[in-house]
C-alpha cells in the first residue's frame, strides 16, 4: 500500500512538472495588452498551422519604406470553427489588422482583421 502511494505521488509530481510549461505558453507576456495598434498592408505569408496561425504583412510607411509585421492568431482548429481555411488569406491581399503590439517591435496579437472590401473575418472569439 505504501509503495503504491509513493508511485502515485511520483507520477503526479512528474505530470505537473511536464505539463506546467504548457499552461505558461498561452500567456500574453510578449504583448503590450494596454496598447492596441492598427496596421494596413499586403499579406506576404499566411501559415495556417499549429500551434498558432501566423500572418506576415508588409506595411508601407509614410516615408516610403516598407515594414514587415508578423501577426499571431489562435490555433487553426479554433479558427476553422469560425469558418477559416488554409486559403482564407492569399499573398498580395490587402488587409487591416488591429491588435496588441509586441513588446519587441513589429509583432501583433491580432484582435481584428478587415479585408480590403470592408469585410471583417470572424476570429471565433464571440464576434
Q: Which residue has 500567456 as its cell numbers? A: 27
Q: Residue 117: inside a domain, yes or no? A: yes
Cβ of 121: how many Cβ atoms within 10 Å? Answer: 20
What's the pLDDT at 20? 46
Q: Residue 2: inside a domain, yes or no? A: no
pTM of the entire predicted model: 0.75
pLDDT digits (tens, 9 = 90+) for 58-103: 999 999 999 999 999 999 999 999 999 999 999 999 999 999 999 9
| Side-chain half-sphere exposure of 13, counting CA atoms within 13 A | 6
Which residue range forms the structural domain that includes residue 113?
A: 31-121
What's the pLDDT at 105? 87
pLDDT digits (tens, 9 = 90+) for 16-40: 555 444 444 556 788 999 989 999 9
7, 24, 29 from 34: Cα distances, Å: 46, 20, 12
Residue 113 burial (C-beta neighbours within 10 Å; 0-12, 13-18, 19+): buried
Q: What is the DSSP letter of 118?
A: S
What's the pLDDT at 124? 80
Question: Quick one: average pLDDT of 40-63?
Answer: 96
The domain that holds 102 is classified in CATH as 2.40.50.140
5, 6, 7, 11, 59 from 2: Cα distances, Å: 5, 6, 9, 14, 64
Residues in the chain: 127
- How many domains are contained in the chain? 1
Amino acid at each position: 500500500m505504501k509503495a503504491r502511494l509513493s508511485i502515485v505521488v511520483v507520477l503526479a509530481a512528474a505530470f505537473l512538472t511536464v505539463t506546467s510549461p504548457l499552461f505558461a505558453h498561452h500567456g500574453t507576456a510578449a504583448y503590450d495588452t494596454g496598447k492596441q495598434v492598427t496596421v494596413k498592408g499586403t499579406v506576404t505569408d499566411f501559415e495556417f498551422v499549429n500551434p498558432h496561425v501566423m500572418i506576415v504583412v508588409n506595411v508601407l510607411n509614410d516615408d516610403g519604406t516598407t515594414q514587415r509585421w508578423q501577426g499571431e492568431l489562435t490555433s487553426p482548429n479554433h479558427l476553422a470553427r469560425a469558418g477559416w481555411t488554409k486559403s482564407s488569406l492569399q499573398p498580395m491581399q490587402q488587409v487591416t489588422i488591429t491588435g496588441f503590439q509586441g513588446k519587441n517591435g513589429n509583432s501583433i496579437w491580432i484582435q481584428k482583421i478587415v479585408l480590403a472590401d470592408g469585410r471583417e473575418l470572424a476570429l471565433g472569439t464571440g464576434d
